[in-house]
Structure 1
Amino acid sequence: MTETDPALRRPPPRDFASEGASVFPAMPAEAPLDMPTQSLSRFDPSTRRKNVLRHPWLGVLFARLFVFGGGLALTCYGAYEMYEVVAVGGVTLLEWALLILFVANFSWIALAFSSGLAGLLWLMFFAPRAPALPAVLHERTAIVMPIYNEAPARIFAALEAMIEDVAASGLGQSFDWFFLSDTTNPEIFLAEERAFIDLRQRVGGAARVYYRHRPKNLNRKAGNIEDFVTRWGGRYPHMVVLDADSLMTGPAIVTLAAAMESDLDAGIIQTLPLIINRNTLFARVQQFAARIYGPVIAAGVSVWMGREGNYWGHNAIIRTRAFAAHCGLPSLPGRPPFGGHILSHDFVEAALILRAGFSVYMLPTLGGSFEESPPSLIDLSARDRRWCQGNLQHLRVLPARGFKIASRQHFITGIMAYVSSPLWMAQLFVGIILVIQASYIRPEYFSREFTLFPTWPRFDAERSLNLFALTMAILLTPKLFGLLLALFQGRTRRGCGGAIRLILSALFEIVMSALLAPIMMLIQAGHVMHFAFGFDTGWDPQRRDDGSIAFGAIVRRHRSHVAMGVVTLIAGFMIAPSLVAWMSPTIIGLILAIVISWSTGLLNVGMAFRRAGLLLTPEEQSKPPIVARANELARQFGHEAPQDDAGEAAFPEDPKFWALHLAWLPAQKRASGDISAEWALANAKLENAETMDEAIAWLKPKERMALLNDRTLIARLLQLPRKSTAPEPLSSVG
Structure 2
Amino acid sequence: MDVLNQTLAEASPHDAAARPPLGGVFAPPTPVENRLAMPAQNLFKFDSRHRRRPAAPKLGYIPWLSRLVTFGGGAALTVYGGNEMYRVIDVGGVTTLKWALLALFVLNFSWIALSFSSSLVGLAALLRRPSRPARPTSLAAKTAVVMPIYNEAPSRVFAALQTIFEDVEATGLGEGFDWFFLSDTTNPDIWIAEERAFIEIRRRLGAAGGRVFYRRREKNTSRKAGNIAEFVSRWGGAYEHMVVLDADSLMTGETIVQLAAAMEADPDSGIIQTLPLIINRNTLFARVQQFAARIYGPVIAAGLSEWMGRDGNYWGHNAIIRTEAFARHCGLPDLRGRPPWGGHIMSHDFVEAALIRRAGYAVYMLPTLGGSYEESPPSLIDLSARDRRWCQGNLQHSRILFGSGFHWASRQHFLTGIFGYLTSPLWLLQLLVGIIIVFQASYFRPEYFSAEFALFPVWPRFDAQRSLELFALTMGILLAPKLFGLIVAIHDPETRRGSGGVVMLLISTVFEVILSALLAPIMMLIQTGHVVHIVFGFDTGWDPQRRDDGSVPFSAIVRRHRSHVALGVLSLVAGLLISPSLVAWMSPTIAGLILAIPISWLTSQRWLGLAFRRAGLLVTPEETNTPHVAKRGRALSKILARTGEDEANCILAIHADPELRSLHETWLPARKPRQRGQITADRAVAEAKLADAETIEDAVQWLNRGERLVAVSDRALISMAARLPRRGRPEAAAAE
TM-score by length of 1: 0.94
Judge conservation of contact 2:145–2:180 (CA < 8 Å) in 1: yes
Q: C-alpha separation between the residues in 2 aligned to 1:402 and 1:675?
A: 49
| CA-CA distance at 1:644 after TM superposition | 6.2
1:71 aligns with 2:74: yes
Aligned-partner Cα distance in 1 for 2:526–2:163 = 37
Residue 44 of structure 2 contacts residue 403 of structure 2 at CA under 8 Å; is this kept in 1? yes
> Which of these residues, 548, 553, 556, is aligned with residue 551 of structure 2?
548
Structure 2 unmatched runs, 5+: 1-20
Partner of 1:322: 325
1:158 aligns with 2:157: no
Match runs of 1:565-576 below 5 Å:
565-576=568-579
Question: Is the Cα contact below 8 Å between 1:312 and 1:347 reproduced in 2?
Answer: yes
| 1:151–1:639 CA contact under 8 A, matched in 2 | no
Aligned to 2:179: 177
Q: Secondary structure at the match of 2:360?
A: coil
Q: Output one character per residue of 1:39-70: Cα deviation in whole Å (capped at 9) or x when no partner.
A: 11211111111110124666511111110000
**Alpha carbon RMSD of aligned pairs, Å?**
1.9
Residue among 62, 65, 68 paired with 1:62? 65
Q: Which residue of 2 aligns with 1:385?
A: 388
Relative to 1, partners in 2 of residues 1:55 and 1:727: Cα closer, same or farther, differing over 3 Å? farther
Q: Note if contact 2:283-2:379 (Cα within 8 Å) is conserved in structure 1.
A: yes
Query: Are 2:650 and 2:708, in contact at CA under 8 Å, matched by a contact in 1?
Result: no
8 Å contact from structure 1 (residues 151, 642) kept in 2: no
Pick from 704, 723, 727 the counterpart of residue 719 of structure 1.
723
Residues 580-591 of structure 1 aligned to structure 2 (within 5 Å): 580-591=583-594
Cα distance in 1, alignment partners of residues 55 and 652 from structure 2: 53
Q: 1:117 aligns with which of 107, 115, 120?
A: 120
Distance 1:129 1:441 in 2: 64
Shift of the 456–648 alpha-carbon distance from structure 1 to 2, 3 Å rule, reads farther
Aligned to 2:378: 375
Three-state SS of the structure 2 residue aligned to 1:399 is coil
Pairing 1:401–2:408 present: no
Cα deviation, 1:587-614, whole Å, max 9, x if unaligned, reads 1100000000000000110011001000
C-alpha contact 1:421 1:525 (8 A) present in aligned 2: yes
Paired amino acid for 2:191? F
8 Å CA contact retained: 1:191, 1:649: no
| Between 149-158 and 634-643, the greater mean CA deviation after superposition | 634-643
Q: Work out whether 1:141 is the aligned partner of 2:143.
A: yes
Q: Which residue of 1 aligns with 2:306?
A: 303
Deviations for 1:73-116, whole angstroms, at most 9, x for unmatched residues?
Answer: 00000000000001111110000000000000000000000000
Cα distance 1:404–1:331, how it changes in 2: closer, same or farther (>3 A)? same
Give the C-alpha shift of residue 383 in structure 1: 0.4
After TM superposition, the structure 1 stretch with the greater mean CA deviation from structure 2, 679-688 or 555-564, is: 679-688
Is the CA contact 1:186–1:705 (under 8 Å) kept in the aligned structure 2?
A: yes
1:348 aligns with 2:323: no
3-state SS, counterpart of residue 653 of structure 2:
coil
Aligned-pair distance for 1:216?
A: 1.4
Mark the CA change 1:639 to 1:533 in structure 2 (over 3 Å): closer, same or farther.
Answer: farther
1:698 aligns with 2:715: no
CA 1:674/1:213 → structure 2, altered by over 3 Å: closer, same or farther?
Answer: farther
Amino acid paired to 1:255: Q
Q: Which amino acid aligns with 1:384?
A: D
Letter in 2 for 1:37: A
**Residues 1:389 and 1:602: Cα distance change in structure 2 (over 3 Å):** same
Check whether the contact 1:278–1:546 (CA below 8 A) recurs between aligned residues.
yes
Aligned-partner residue type, residue 164 of structure 1: E
Alpha-carbon separation, structure 2, partners of 1:398 and 1:676: 43
Give the letter aligned to residue 527 of structure 1. Answer: H
Q: Is 1:83 aligned with 2:86?
A: yes
After superposition, the Cα gap between the structure-2 partners of 1:450 and 1:477, relative to the gap in structure 1 and judged at 3 Å, is: same
Residue 633 (structure 2) aligns with = 630
- Residues 483-517 of structure 1 deviation map (CA, whole Å, 9 limit, x = unaligned): 00000111101100111001000000000100000
Which secondary structure does the structure 2 equivalent of 1:650 belong to? helix
Deviation at 1:651, TM superposition (A): 3.0
- For the 8 Å contact 1:151–1:640, the answer to whether it is kept is no
Partner of 1:678: 682
1:708 to 699, 712, 719: 712
Q: Hey, what's the Cα distance between the residues in 1 that align with 2:113 and 2:221? A: 41
Percent identical? 65
Distance 1:663 1:287, change over 3 A: same
2:9 equivalent in structure 1: none
Q: Which residue of 2 aligns with 1:523?
A: 526
The structure-2 alpha-carbon separation of the partners of 1:234 and 1:528, relative to structure 1 and needing over 3 Å to count, comes to same
What's 1:210 paired with? 213
CA distance in structure 2 between the aligned counterparts of 1:575 and 1:107, rounded to whole angstroms: 30
Note if contact 2:189-2:648 (Cα within 8 Å) is conserved in structure 1: no
Change (3 A) 1:675 1:309: farther
Instruction: After superposition, give the CA deviation of every residue in 1:221-263 in whole Å (9 maximum; x if it has no partner).
Output: 1111111111111111110000000000000000000011111
Counterpart in the other structure of 1:7: none
Residues in 2 aligned to 1:709 and 1:309: alpha-carbon distance in whole angstroms: 43
Q: Deviations over 1:165-216 (max 9, x none)?
A: 0011000000011111111111111111111111101101124111111111
Aligned to 1:3: none
Q: What residue identity is the alignment partner of 1:144?
A: V
SS of the residue corresponding to residue 146 of structure 2 reads strand
C-alpha distance in 1, partners of 2:22/2:168?
31
Shift in CA distance, 635/646, structure 1 to aligned 2, threshold 3 Å:
same
Residue pair 1:153, 1:640 contacting (<8 A) in 2 also:
no
Counterpart for residue 508 of structure 1: 511
Shift of 1:449: 2.0
1:563 to 557, 563, 566: 566
Q: Deviations over 1:389-444 (max 9, x none)?
A: 11111111111111110011000000111111000000000000000111111111
**Which residue is 1:189 aligned to?**
191
Q: How big is the shift at 1:692?
A: 2.8
* Gap change, CA 1:726 and 1:169, over 3 Å in 2: farther
